[in-house]
Structure 1
Amino acid sequence: MKQPDDIFSQMLPFWEHLTPQEQMALREASVPSTLPKGTITHRADQDCKGILLLLSGQLRAFLLSEEGREVTLYRVREGETCVLSSSCLMDAIVFDVLIEAIEETHVITLPVTALSPLAQQRPEIELFLYKTASERFSDIMWTMQQILFMGMDRRAAIFLWDESAQKGPVLRITHDEMARYIGSAREVVTKVLKYFAQEGIVALRRGTITILDREKLRRLTGMASVEERTPRPQK
């Protein structure tokens, strides 16, 4: 198992710029914890916790409408950091999202109480926060682009393609979960998946979706094949 210093140095670009005393202060303030699946670790009506370092598992940031509809904005995976849970450190960013563990997730929290005084003295920390937040906003814009401009079949295909690249051809996910991740209704997702099954692209079982034909799925995503992406040699 990696030692805390190894984790901090790999996941926090500003770590090497801190003095030994500052590193010790963050190390002693850090809080390891396990978030059971379904845990809401951040919401607008709670105090922001700090930076979350994901050791394993997965989080998702999402919006919840007054009608109860969820739109997943982005996900944070193992080896990544969640900084919007420390949004109170970033005065220029006002963004109310909920953050949920979508599987059992192990994290180390660097509390705001320890980060705030350091951020005032170390511009590297503030730069890291804004840089990481801006990358997440790029993910959010991509999500909005999909919702506003892409058909449901393409959005579903992109989701399945990305998930299978991470987890393999057998995806243990329900139609309801998939609908929440891509910002749609479960009935619509079920209809699209049934069409994919009729076309031989996927096989559907209770709680699982198995990718059968990656080439057909790739075509639905709109991505070029390897051959199409490879430049032809000049004559």
Structure 2
Amino acid sequence: MATAEFTDEGRLEALQDIPIFQDISNDDLLELIGHSSPQTWPKKTCILDTKTTLYKFYIVLKGRIKAYSFDHDSGRQAIIHLMYPGDFFDVCTLMRGVEHKLYYETIDDAEVLCIPIMKMRNWIARHPSIINHLLNDIICKMEKLEANVADLSLEDTETRFAKLLINNMNARKNCVEKINDLSHDELARLIGTSRAVLNRQIQVFKAEGILRISRKNIEILDYPSLLAKIPTDLS
């Protein structure tokens, strides 16, 4: 296992940047860090035991981690959401104390704070202001899931792919970030389609001069044309 990159001081700075901890003093954050153990997970580390989050709460300090559901009969995988530094899991298990059927896999080398679930609950009980922030996090994730379900039901692949690119685009640099270096398999899972269908859509966008892909870097060449792929009542 790789050596943890963050010192306790670095972990404190990382927690200070997370919105749910904005009202928490440094001493109380250091107490939380004292309850935790840093873990480094190499790229493609999988957490396949869904009972893990019954006992541990995780805060992402470095890297990207995908949360996904998996159908063992069909072998199909659906990405529920991507997590970045500052995200945490699993809030549902933390709040309700029941097993949450989600799996996790690191997209990059990652570092997390691992906190025993009962210590996390006891710490929250002493800092109840954090509960509203956790509820807001759950609500935001639910709203995104609702939007994704609506897109899958109502929109075609072209529209879903255009929205994915725009939602992850740095307009100033005309490039896609956060999902920029994901494989086509992962991009396809994010919009609920197959790699073959996504590849065809990428070729269409390339032929229309909308984007260019080199070494997994997605560059947007014609933003107005990309935006036009989304119906005006959805953009």
Q: Same fold (TM over 0.5)?
A: yes
Distance change in 2, residues 1:33/1:5 (3 Å): same
Q: Which runs of 5+ in 1 are unaligned?
A: 230-235
Aligned with residue 113 of structure 2, among 108, 115, 127: 108
The one-letter code sitting in structure 1 at the alignment partner of 2:15 is F
Structure 1 residues 24-65: Cα deviation after superposition (integer angstroms, max 9, x where no partner): 542212222322222224652434354433333222222212
Do structure 1's residue 60 and structure 2's residue 66 form an aligned pair? yes
Cα root mean square deviation, aligned: 3.2
TM superposition shift of 1:127: 3.4
* Paired position in structure 1 for 2:17: 10
Answering whether residue 69 of structure 2 is matched by residue 72 of structure 1, we say: no
Change (3 A) 1:49 1:202: farther
Counterpart for residue 197 of structure 2: 188
| CA distance, structure 1, for counterparts of residue 23 and residue 151 of structure 2 | 38
- Structure 1 residue 185, shift from structure 2 partner: 0.7
Residue 147 (str. 1) matches residue 156 (str. 2): no
Q: Which of 34, 40, 43 pairs up with 1:37?
A: 43
Deviation, 1:158, is: 1.2
**Alpha-carbon spacing, 1:82–1:17, altered in 2? closer, same or farther (3 Å):** closer
Q: Does 1:202 align with 2:211?
A: yes
Following the alignment from structure 1 to structure 2, what is the Cα–Cα distance between the partners of residues 19 and 212?
45
Distance 2:174 2:62 in 1: 17
Q: Structure 2 CA distance, aligned partners of 1:31 and 1:168?
A: 39
| Preserved CA contact (<8 Å) 2:69 2:102 | yes
CA distance change for structure 1 residues 92 and 143 in 2, over 3 Å: closer, same or farther?
Answer: farther
How far is the alpha carbon of 1:12 from its aligned partner? 5.8
Instruction: From the superposition, tell whether residues 205 and 19 of structure 1 become closer, same or farther in structure 2 (CA, over 3 Å).
Output: closer
Assess if the C-alpha contact under 8 Å between 1:173 and 1:208 holds in 2.
no
Structure 2 counterpart SS, 1:38: coil
The alpha-carbon distance between structure 1 residues 178 and 19, as it changes in their structure 2 partners (threshold 3 A), is closer
Deviates more, 1:123-132 or 1:145-154: 123-132
Aligned to 1:173: 182
Change over 3 Å in CA distance of 1:55–1:27 after alignment to 2: closer
Q: Which runs of 5+ in 2 are unaligned?
A: 1-5
Task: Give the TM-score normalised by the residue count of structure 2.
Answer: 0.77
Deviation for aligned residue 1:145: 1.6
Q: SS where residue 193 of structure 2 aligns?
A: coil
- Structure 2 contact 15–21 (Cα < 8 Å) conserved: no
Residue 136 of structure 2 is aligned to residue 127 of structure 1: no
- In structure 1, what is the equivalent of residue 104 of structure 2? 99
TM-score for both structures, normalised by structure 1: 0.77
Deviations 1:53-103 (A, max 9, x none): 33332222222123121222222223x22232x533211876422222222
Aligned counterparts of 2:147 and 2:123: Cα–Cα separation in 1 = 33
Q: Give the secondary structure class of the aligned counterpart of 1:90.
A: helix
Change (3 A) 1:208 1:125: closer
Looking at CA atoms only, which structure, 1 or 2, has the larger radius of gyration?
1
**Secondary structure at 1:156's aligned position in 2?**
helix
Query: Is residue 211 from structure 1 mapped to residue 217 from structure 2 by the alignment?
Result: no
Task: Give me the identity figure in percent.
Answer: 21
Q: Which moved more, 1:1-10 or 1:114-123?
A: 1-10
Match of 1:233 in 2: none
